[in-house]
Amino acid sequence: MMNSSILISRNLCVGYNDKAVMSDINFSLEAGKILAIVGPSGCGKSTLMRVLGGLDEPLSGECELLGIKVTEAQVRQREMTLRRSGFLFQGSALFSSLTLRENVEMPMREFLGVSNLQIRQLAEYKLALVGLAEAMDKLPSEVSGGMAKRAGIARAMALDPEIIFLDEPSAGLDPISSARLDELILKVRESFGTTIVLVSHEVPSILRTADFCVYLDSDTGTMGAYAPPKDFLQPGSHPKASAFFSQIKIS
């Protein structure tokens, strides 16, 4: 686990109400990489992502984000770390009564000490980056699911974060919209050097985008493997992860 790692998990155990869902999670991720958290439905992927992002507390173990041990950090230090991160939650979580531009402006108004004109220009720039220059004054209900996901990514990028957490970004999208979203994720990483952590069960999307995968084994309640996704296409080394990636059930 090198000092260049932007995200480190050490013996992490996550769950709800003192009940462990997943334990023995150990890995490190270098800056500028894309990590996919994968596994069967209900195995704790989103729960783990929220702990890694500093939004929830682990049951035990240690998580280090952007060089800060978020499990031990004081409130102020934790808030500053979260400000350097961006989040896209399931369903995009946009405010329905605000336009796409106003949604992107919200974190800027709270944290950036700049003029309203500058905030508007920054929000328009972020939306243009994700291909929504012509839709920025529309409400979330007036755009497609793929456009809403892109707007959610624009809002996650509002404060120029060093790391972005995306929870099921391509869920519910048709194959064309999903492929376009994958292209956007790669563009964000390549253009800004942003580290990206995503939760997904979409194997084609994972193979297109991810540098590494954490596979969560629902049978043992532990991390089953940590490797580049193409390694999981080989059936020998990680049988359950390989079965997940080939969509084959194993006993």
Half-sphere exposure of 42 (CA within 13 A, CB side): 1
Q: How far is Cα 248 from Cα 8, in angstroms, rounded to an integer?
A: 31
The average pLDDT across 2-27 equals: 89
CB–CB of 198/7 below 8 Å?
no
Three-state SS at 119: helix
Nearest to 164 by CA among 209, 98, 204, 120: 209
Question: What confidence score (pLDDT) does residue 72 get?
Answer: 83
Summarised one tens digit per residue, pLDDT across range 123-179 is: 999 999 999 999 999 999 999 989 999 999 999 999 999 999 999 988 878 888 889
Tokens of 202: 């979409």
Residue with tokens 């890694």: 52
Question: What confidence score (pLDDT) does residue 249 get?
Answer: 45
Is a pLDDT exceeding 80 seen at residue 226?
yes
Provide the pLDDT confidence category of residue 235 given band limits of 50, 70 and 90: confident
Q: Helix H segments across the chain?
A: 45-52, 75-83, 100-111, 116-129, 145-156, 175-192, 203-209, 239-246
Summarised one tens digit per residue, pLDDT across range 88-100 is: 988 778 999 999 9
The average pLDDT across 206-221 equals: 94
Provide the pLDDT confidence category of residue 239 given band limits of 50, 70 and 90: confident
Q: How far is Cα 58 from Cα 230, in angstroms, rounded to an integer?
A: 29
Q: How far is Cα 220 from Cα 167, in angstroms, rounded to an integer?
A: 23
In this structure, which amino acid lies at residue 167? D
Identify the CATH number of the domain defined by range 1-84+172-251.
Answer: 3.40.50.300
Provide the pLDDT confidence category of residue 214 given band limits of 50, 70 and 90: very high
pTM above 0.75, yes or no: yes
Question: What confidence score (pLDDT) does residue 193 get?
Answer: 93
Summarised one tens digit per residue, pLDDT across range 61-94 is: 999 999 999 878 888 888 888 889 999 988 778 9
The average pLDDT across 103-129 equals: 93
Question: What confidence score (pLDDT) does residue 250 get?
Answer: 46
Share of the chain above pLDDT 90, in %: 67
What is the location of CATH 3.40.50.300 in the chain?
1-84+172-251
Question: What confidence score (pLDDT) does residue 82 get?
Answer: 87
User: What is the separation, in whole angstroms, between the first and last Cα of the chain?
Assistant: 34
